[in-house]
Structure 1
Amino acid sequence: MKKVDVYQSLWGMRDLPNQELPWSIEEQVCKIKEAGFDGILQFVDDFSDETQNLTELIKNAGLKLGLSCVGYHMEDIEGKIKYAKNCNAEFLNIMVKDYFIVGKEATLLLENILRFGKAMMVPTFIETHRGTITQDLIRTTEYLKSIPELQLTIDFSHYVVSGEISIPEEKVEECFDALLKRAAAIHIRISNGEQVQVPIHGLDDGLYANFIRWWQKGIDYAMSHGEVKKPFPIVVELGPHPYQQKFSSPEGEWLYDYNRWEEALRWKNIIEKF
């Protein structure tokens, strides 16, 4: 069995190759398949015919299906877990709203989500994301102490930008390490501490190396958890505008829009060497 499966986020295909003449959904799926990705991460907000047709399109293309959603309340989340069950998704990634839910209320909600996911036999992961129940690094680290079954989709770009982390301090590394021990999936996006998403050539070598090191550590921890039955899912998720913005290089030169598809393929090649 290979170590990782590389998914491409369908959200990350939006407005490609450009806003004026974007690829159709069918073309997006075809491009992902031709590029050799193992699967696609589909965002699910409803259960419309359009959503279901897209799910079938992905599966008929011979690609693995990962699902991602925003969970607004328990009833909403249960419906999305059931959808993941019915379409035999490899996993469901949930961004749990909202970030004003804290303490015991947050812990109880997470426990209920995980309990329902387990009952439905759907691998259910909670994403580290701004504006959600995992809003900040400190509170997310606290969840781990009280919820031993909590599995995370790691996206450290949100914590790096919200904490303006350019040089990780010892306390940051300790918290990141605790989260990586619960990593069940990883989203590939790099932040420079000021912008949530920058391309590879928009970083200095130190920041690039830190993200690679964190991701590799998360995979290694996951591989050490007894018998591993499936490859570890890694999702290349480079968002469209406003995630994609102009940025400056480490030398201070202003650079503008980059080709997200070329960047995604570059990341795919890097990840496959892990």
Structure 2
Amino acid sequence: MKPVLRLFANLWTLMGHPSQQHEWTLDEKLCAIREAGFDSVCWAPSSELTEGARRYGLTFVGGMATADATEFPHLLEDLKRSGTTQVNVQLGTDAMLTAEALPLCMELVRQAKALDLQAVIETHRGTCTETPEKMYALADAYQQATGELLPVSWDFSHFAVVKHLVPESFAEKLLLRSALIQHAQHFHLRPFNGHHAQVPITDGRGALTREVVDWLPFAEATLACWLEGNRNSGRELFICPELGPVQGGYALSTFPSSWEDAKILRREIDRLWQRLTA
């Protein structure tokens, strides 16, 4: 059975859209997400979001961020009540070494499993997976301690900036751990280059930017790597065209609308998927 692609939008992308003074309501944002062809929406849980996602037929992908294990029970229970089964986690701090991050990670996964939640650890700045070295050390320690592969939510943009990579080496340097990539169910596919974790998708005239054209072969290689281990698995693959607004430091003030660009990026990712699974 073929795997199923679930493209989800992060509400973060719609912060301050269409303007700070006239930001859309949650209902308007969810309606736009559905109309743009997304399957799912991601954010921290709330009763309003749970109801809104249900109203528009969207799957809810939960999110949480913490470095404190004592927060796990109430955060995970809130997510369980939201109706999600998928939880994207920004875990720990950038100061954590593997010996400190490992028990935190193991406890998170244990508590999530007890609630029938799938917690995945995002590769992200300011967390215990901030660099490739820290991420792979944690993954190796987790596998040694549990006999299982670490559940990862991949965002390669942070690693590319840490290493100042050029497009020709994206796949060579970033797709090193095929087993971890194929085990994953979550990817945040944000176009990047070696100095910017996010680049504009369009050039102001509707055409794809040179930076995105240079990045698309890496996106295709990532999907091909995942499919190599999952082509007949029937698994769901959750992918977020992860574009952030000016708030947070990802988009620059001269970039086009993050939301309008995210819709185009969704189309490009879906096009690659359809070609690879034909």
- TM-score normalised over the length of structure 1: 0.85
User: 1:265/1:124 Cα in 2 relative to 1: closer, same or farther (>3 Å)?
Assistant: same
Deviations 1:57-87 (A, max 9, x none): 2222211000111123112123222222222
Counterpart of 1:234 in structure 2: which amino acid?
I
Counterpart residue number, 1:180: 181
Q: Are 2:102 and 1:104 equivalent residues in the alignment?
A: no
Q: Secondary structure in 1 aligned to 2:116? A: coil
Counterpart residue number, 1:5: 6
Runs ≥4 in structure 1, deviation > 6 angstroms? none
Counterpart residue number, 2:267: 269
Q: Are 2:193 and 1:214 equivalent residues in the alignment?
A: no
How far 1:234 sits from its partner (Å)?
0.8
Deviations 1:188-245 (A, max 9, x none): 2111111110123150643331233124423543x25x843x4211112210112111
Counterpart of 1:138 in structure 2: which amino acid?
E
Counterpart residue number, 1:237: 242
Counterpart residue number, 2:128: 133
User: 1:33/1:105 Cα in 2 relative to 1: closer, same or farther (>3 Å)?
Assistant: same
How far 1:174 sits from its partner (Å)?
5.6
Output the CA distance in 1 between the equivalents of 2:251 and 2:32: 20
Counterpart of 1:83 in structure 2: which amino acid?
D
Q: What aligned pairs does 1:30-49 form with structure 2 within 5 A after superposition?
A: 30-44=31-45
How far 1:137 sits from its partner (Å)?
0.3
| Unaligned segments of structure 1, at least 5 residues | 45-50, 247-255
User: 1:176/1:150 Cα in 2 relative to 1: closer, same or farther (>3 Å)?
Assistant: closer
How far 1:176 sits from its partner (Å)?
4.9
Output the CA distance in 2 between the equivalents of 1:21 and 1:190: 28
How far 1:160 sits from its partner (Å)?
0.8
Counterpart of 1:122 in structure 2: which amino acid?
L
Count of aligned positions? 256
Output the CA distance in 1 between the equivalents of 2:113 and 2:30: 30
Question: CA-atom RMSD, angstroms?
Answer: 2.2
Counterpart residue number, 2:152: 152
The answer as to whether partners of 1:165 and 1:193 remain within 8 angstroms in 2 is: yes
Output the CA distance in 1 between the equivalents of 2:170 and 2:42: 32
Q: Secondary structure in 1 aligned to 2:187? A: strand
Output the CA distance in 2 between the equivalents of 1:239 and 1:217: 26
Instruction: Tell me the percent identity.
Output: 24
Output the CA distance in 2 between the equivalents of 1:219 and 1:42: 27
